[in-house]
């Protein structure tokens, strides 16, 4: 009995297994955006490793063009998050201390929010808890930063509200760009 057909099938099967693992790793990296991890850059890095180390199978494989577009989109995602997160608060007159504490509050409260909301509705609860927790942390950090500075010339609640809304818009924008990157990479690697 000959098993030559199996030897022909192994490279293709291995390729699709690795492409599936890349997709799962990229989704995990994408979710990490909620915790201030540069998830889109992790997606680009993992995809670049796949590009370098996985041989093309049956005209499948990530092209250099798609990889370069992913790099540009990841940079755009960082810009969207940065502008969304701090532009609103800065526009309202937030101090540097308020913006730094807003970032710290975002990080700590996104982890806390995800942990508290995970038991409610497991993957969706984690995502929503991290977004809401991070936004509340941005509000509290910006507000407390202005209190700590003793800044009486600004409306602390308005600055906190701007940080809250900016955080939500920034992370949603960055995650939307991350979805585009993942879909683009996945389609290019499978089709």
Distance CA 84, CA 29 (A): 21
The secondary structure of 108-130 as a DSSP string is: HHHHHHHHHHTTTSHHHHHHHHH
Model confidence pLDDT, tens digit, residues 170-190: 889 999 999 999 999 999 998
pLDDT at position 7 over 60: no
Name the most confidently modeled range: 66-75, 113-122, 156-165: 66-75
pTM listed for this prediction: 0.74
Q: For residue 125, what are the CA distances in angstroms to 32, 52, 59, 103?
A: 14, 36, 39, 22
Per-residue confidence at 5, pLDDT binned at 50, 70, 90? low
pLDDT attached to residue 83: 74
Residues 8-35: tens digit of each pLDDT: 666 778 888 899 999 999 999 999 988 8
Map out the domains of the chain as residue ranges.
4-190
Cβ-based neighbour number of residue 63 at 10 Å? 12
């Amino acid at each position: 009995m000959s098993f030559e057909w199996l030897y022909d099938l192994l490279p293709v099967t291995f390729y699709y297994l690795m492409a599936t693992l890349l997709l799962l790793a990229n989704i995990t990296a994408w979710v990490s955006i909620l915790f201030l991890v540069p998830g889109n850059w992790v997606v680009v890095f993992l995809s670049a490793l796949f590009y370098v180390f996985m041989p093309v199978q049956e005209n499948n494989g990530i092209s250099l063009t798609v990889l370069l577009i992913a790099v540009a989109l990841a940079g755009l995602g960082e810009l969207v998050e940065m502008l969304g997160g701090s532009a609103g608060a800065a526009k309202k007159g937030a101090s540097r201390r308020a913006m730094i504490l807003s970032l710290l509050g975002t990080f700590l409260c996104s982890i806390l929010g995800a942990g508290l909301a995970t038991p409610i509705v497991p993957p969706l609860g984690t995502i929503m808890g991290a977004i809401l927790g991070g936004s509340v942390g941005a509000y509290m950090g910006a507000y407390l930063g202005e209190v700590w500075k003793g800044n009486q010339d600004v409306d602390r609640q308005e600055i906190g509200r701007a940080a809250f809304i900016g955080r939500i818009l920034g992370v949603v924008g960055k995650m939307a760009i991350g979805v585009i990157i993942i879909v683009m990479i996945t389609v290019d690697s499978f089709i």
